[in-house]
Amino acid sequence: MRILGIDPGLTRCGVGIIDVDSMRRNHFVHVAVIRTHPDLELPQRLLNLENALNTILDEFSPDVVAVERVFSQLNVSTAMGTAQASAIALVNATRRNIATHMYTPTEVKAAVTGYGRADKLQVTSMVTRLLALSQAPKPADAADALALALCHALRGVGQQRVSDFVTQQAKPVSPAGRS
């Protein structure tokens, strides 16, 4: 199963991709940060983000997309940009019939570190360990995107989807015209 984690943001949008094999082991595939320039008009920034996300969806063909759920922040403009980036990710995945799931930052931290109030350094450290990376993913948006993918893999819904995927792959295909 291929999971795309998205840490949404209008200026910096983290994307992290992992594969989960039939033994439920996590494997690093790709990580990047999509950037849009703050001097561009909002519609152009959103279009640039959409184009970049579509390229990633096309290139890596994830089975599921995990997006960080927008939560209330003191800075309304930051929250709006995050919500807009989330919407683009969710709509584009849905257009491709890719399942989407949203997780709060607390859920992600708890799944990856075992502690819902872990700091960014702890999350990055666990992402690095869980994916056996030679170095920590940078910037934080990249590590957060991989943490979202890992959260989905580690939570019950992720485990169930992995089991369903493995079962589906193991079914023999009957020849055409036979029952």
Q: Which of 21, 59, 68, 164 is catalytic?
A: 68
Q: Residue 5: beta bridge partners?
A: 16, 66
Q: Which of 7, 21, 39, 119 is catalytic?
A: 7
To the nearest 10°, report the CA torsion of 67, 72, 47, 54.
0
Q: How far is CA 174 from the centre of its chain?
A: 34
DSSP string across 71-115: ---S-HHHHHHHHHHHHHHHHHHHHTT-EEEEE-HHHHHHHHHS-
Q: Is 50 a catalytic residue?
A: no
**CA end-to-end distance (rounded Å), the chain:** 28
DSSP string across 129-176: HHTT-SS--SSHHHHHHHHHHHHHHHSHHHHHHHHHHHHHHHSPPPPT
Q: Is 141 a catalytic residue?
A: yes
Residue 45 in contact with residue 67, Cβ under 8 Å? no
Q: Which of 41, 141, 144, 164 is catalytic?
A: 141
The residues assigned a catalytic role are 7, 68, 141
